[in-house]
């Protein structure tokens, strides 16, 4: 983090293979911000998220993500960058053959946690934050879709991230459960310094929780967009 700035991109171009997906991207996200990311299918939302989590290198321009300068970001930095990010994506679902506790501890072990007492405390701590302390020993299939998504959010919180990136976090949820999940993410951004960036196609939920909107459109990232 540099001051309050968690993400700053200036004049960045984003390619998928040889295809220029987004041109001259300027974006800033500060501590505690809650930002919606919208745009039609294929407009570049995932590509932008990939640049933020180090899965796609930014070409040209400059900036930083969680204290890592894009210009000098190297492959060996990526695991450390990822520890500063909480990722809530459809394709990072829970391990179906492990309990909630084991799912959380799997990530802790993979990110260098060793002390058993601290691991047990942190497990309860993140589950408390998402209101699921009592579900420690449950298997994912014993939880509702909304509860599973809360566990995914708990998992994203383990390493006290500077920003949570959520890609369609309500994609598989009914409207009421979707609102609960977004409310939780809003509360996280308000009660801690964690910023939250949510990609969605759901304009109804954006209207329910008004916040800053950025939009991928015609090869650009438009900042501070209004929706009808
Ligand atoms: N691995 C890849 N190789 C080549 N082109 C790709 C690759 N991934 C995405 N693209 C292209 O880059 C463009 C942007 O795709 P991207 O996945 O970022 O869009 P998106 O806004 O996230 O779409 P969606 O809402 O459907 O997830 C599209 O034209 C897509 O075909």
Query: What is the ipTM score, two decimals?
Result: 0.96
**Which of 38, 42, 197, 200 is the pocket-test mutation for ligand 1 (most atoms within 8 Å of CB)?**
42
Say how many Å lie between the CA of residue 21 and the centre of ligand 1: 8
Say how many Å lie between the CA of residue 26 and the centre of ligand 1: 19
Q: Take residue 133 and report the two structure tokens written for it.
A: 């302390």
- Cβ–Cβ under 8 Å, residues 18 and 25: no
* pLDDT at position 113 over 90: yes
Q: What is the pLDDT of residue 1?
A: 58
Q: Take residue 85 and report the two structure tokens written for it.
A: 């990010």
Q: Which of 189, 190, 187, 211 is nearest to 200 (CA)?
A: 211
Say how many Å lie between the CA of residue 47 and the centre of ligand 1: 6
**Which of 13, 20, 45, 48 is the pocket-test mutation for ligand 1 (most atoms within 8 Å of CB)?**
45
Rounded Cα distance, 204 and 193, in Å: 26
* pLDDT at position 57 over 70: yes
Q: What is the pLDDT of residue 193?
A: 87
Q: What is the pLDDT of residue 59?
A: 85
Strand, coil or helix: 71: helix
Ligand 1 atom nearest 47 alpha carbon: 18
Q: Whose CA is nearest to atom 30 of ligand 1?
A: 42
Strand, coil or helix: 110: helix
The tens digit of pLDDT for each residue in 126-152 reads 999 999 999 999 999 999 999 999 999
As to burial, measured by CB atoms within 10 angstroms (0-12 exposed, 13-18 middle, 19+ buried), residue 197 is buried
Q: Whose CA is nearest to atom 3 of ligand 1?
A: 16
E strand spans, the chain: 5-16, 19-30, 34-39, 62-65, 68-69, 85-88, 163-167, 195-199, 212-217, 220-222
How far is the CA of 131 from the CAs of 55, 180, 181, in angstroms? 31, 11, 11
Q: What is the pLDDT of residue 91?
A: 65
The tens digit of pLDDT for each residue in 61-112 reads 999 999 999 889 999 999 999 999 999 987 668 999 999 999 999 999 998 8
Over residues 201-217, mean pLDDT: 96
Q: What is the CATH number of domain 1-84+165-173+197-228?
A: 3.40.50.300
Q: Which of 132, 131, 205 is nearest to 174 (CA)?
A: 205
Say how many Å lie between the CA of residue 98 and the centre of ligand 1: 32
Q: What are the residue boundaries of the structural domains of the chain, listed by start?
A: 1-84+165-173+197-228
């Amino acid at each position: 983090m540099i001051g309050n700035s968690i993400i700053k991109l200036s004049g960045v171009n984003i390619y998928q293979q040889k295809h220029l997906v987004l041109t001259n991207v300027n974006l800033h996200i500060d501590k505690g911000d809650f930002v919606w990311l919208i745009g039609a299918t294929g407009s570049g939302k995932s590509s932008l998220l990939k640049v933020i989590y180090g899965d796609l290198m930014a070409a040209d321009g400059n900036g930083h993500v969680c204290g890592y300068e894009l210009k000098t970001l190297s492959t060996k930095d990526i695991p450390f960058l990822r520890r500063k990010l909480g990722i809530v994506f459809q394709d990072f679902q829970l391990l179906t053959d492990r309990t909630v506790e084991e799912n959380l501890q799997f990530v802790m072990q993979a990110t260098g946690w060793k002390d058993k007492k601290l691991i047990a405390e942190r497990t309860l701590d993140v589950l408390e934050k998402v209101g699921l302390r009592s579900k420690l020993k449950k298997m994912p299939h014993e939880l509702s879709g909304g509860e599973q998504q809360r566990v995914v959010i708990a998992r994203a919180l383990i390493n006290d991230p500077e920003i949570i990136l959520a890609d369609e976090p309500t994609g598989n949820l009914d409207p009421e459960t979707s609102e609960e999940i977004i409310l939780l993410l809003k509360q996280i951004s308000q009660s801690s310094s964690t910023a939250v960036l949510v990609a969605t196609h759901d304009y109804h939920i954006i209207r329910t929780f008004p916040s800053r909107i950025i939009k991928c459109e015609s090869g650009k990232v438009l900042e501070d967009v209004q929706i009808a």
